[in-house]
């Protein structure tokens, strides 16, 4: 298992990093593929519980939420979300009429909306983050904070974790690991604010004026709040009785397993940048 994890990471990290650096459509396609893979895993998970979600409608809704950020030169894409939502609702009513014996039609309708909207909005913020002035700085900083703080939580929790945060949702998460995550996030953010202009000045846009305090705040927001994204997916997995969302990535589980914290981090970083920096 450890060898599989190492091999998968050795392949994926350089590929993902290269697409982050390239930006533009290569990066957008990466986000779209990740969201569609996550949508597939989301639908498959709940089918194990007997709730047959439509992957087509989840994917369409996710793409509809991303349309405006994918094509910023055009405006007025919100009606697409409305049309998809209405179409999905009509389809659900039609299916329920033809197959009244199928269980939980309301749960199926609600989960389709929730899954498509959650993944679509998250993907839109990840794409928007890269499109900001200094977008490469924002995405690299955000991803590295998540990776470092998650790793700190994992290793400290595994070695010294004694007090469980939410054993009914994620038995492996401890308060000791969370403390390591909360401490390492701001420190990593502050370090990266210093590192990029010092070692890699091409990453920093002239339009950005960032201080160590910006790094501390964004690192703190990500490390304090992003575990909620992890807990959300863990809650779903426990409800349907699976360990991983899929086995797509050897040694790591599914795409949704790997990006659960990234989804929240992209939203938080994008909102922070728009509200307090740009």
Q: Which of 148, 271, 135, 269 is nearest to 203 (CA)?
A: 135
Q: How far is the C-alpha of 125 from the C-alpha of 266, rounded, in Å?
A: 6
pLDDT of residue 152: 95
Range of the domain at 124: 2-277
Record the tokens describing residue 31, joined without a space: 């986000």
**Given this model, what pLDDT does residue 263 score?**
97
Q: CB atoms < 10 A from the CB of 244, how many?
A: 17
Number of structural domains in the chain? 1
Longest dimension (CA), the chain: 65
| The pLDDT of residue 206 | 72
Record the tokens describing residue 64, joined without a space. Answer: 């509809």
Q: What pLDDT was estimated at residue 6?
A: 79
Predicted local confidence at residue 103, as pLDDT: 66
Which alpha helices (DSSP H) does the chain contain, by range? 2-22, 24-47, 55-70, 78-98, 105-131, 135-160, 175-199, 212-225, 227-240, 255-272
pLDDT at 230: 95
Residues in the chain: 278
Closest CA to 233 of 147, 173, 148, 160: 173
Q: Which residues contact 254 (CB under 8 A, 6 or more apart)?
A: 37, 38, 41, 244, 245, 246, 247, 248
Binned average pLDDT, 10 residues per bin, the chain of 278 residues: 73 90 94 97 92 93 92 77 94 85 84 96 96 91 95 93 92 94 97 88 75 93 96 95 90 90 96 85
Task: Note the pLDDT of residue 267.
Answer: 97
């Amino acid at each position: 298992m450890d060898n599989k994890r190492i091999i998968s990471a050795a392949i994926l990290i350089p590929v993902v990093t290269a697409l982050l650096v390239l930006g533009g459509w290569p990066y957008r396609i990466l986000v779209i593929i990740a969201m569609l893979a996550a949508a597939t895993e989301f639908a498959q998970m709940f089918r194990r519980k007997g709730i047959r979600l439509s992957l087509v409608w989840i994917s369409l809704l996710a793409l509809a939420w991303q349309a405006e950020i994918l094509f910023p030169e055009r405006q007025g894409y919100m009606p697409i979300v409305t049309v998809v939502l209405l179409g999905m609702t009509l389809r659900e009513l039609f299916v329920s009429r033809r197959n009244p014996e199928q269980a939980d039609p309301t749960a199926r309708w609600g989960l389709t909306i929730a899954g498509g909207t959650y993944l679509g909005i998250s993907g839109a913020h990840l794409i928007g983050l890269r499109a900001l002035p200094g977008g490469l700085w924002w995405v690299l900083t955000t991803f590295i904070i998540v990776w470092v703080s998650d790793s700190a939580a994992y290793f400290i929790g595994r070695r010294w974790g004694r007090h469980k945060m939410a054993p009914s949702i994620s038995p492996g998460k401890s308060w000791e690991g969370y403390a390591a995550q909360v401490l390492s996030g701001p420190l990593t953010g502050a370090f990266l604010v210093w590192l990029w202009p010092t070692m890699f000045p091409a990453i920093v846009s002239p339009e950005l004026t960032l201080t160590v305090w910006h790094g501390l705040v964004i690192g703190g927001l990500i490390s304090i709040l992003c575990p909620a994204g992890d807990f959300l997916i863990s809650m779903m997995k426990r409800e349907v009785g699976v360990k991983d969302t899929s086995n797509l990535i050897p040694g790591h589980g599914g795409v949704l397993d790997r990006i659960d914290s990234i989804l929240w981090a992209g939203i938080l970083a994008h909102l922070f940048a728009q509200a307090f920096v740009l």
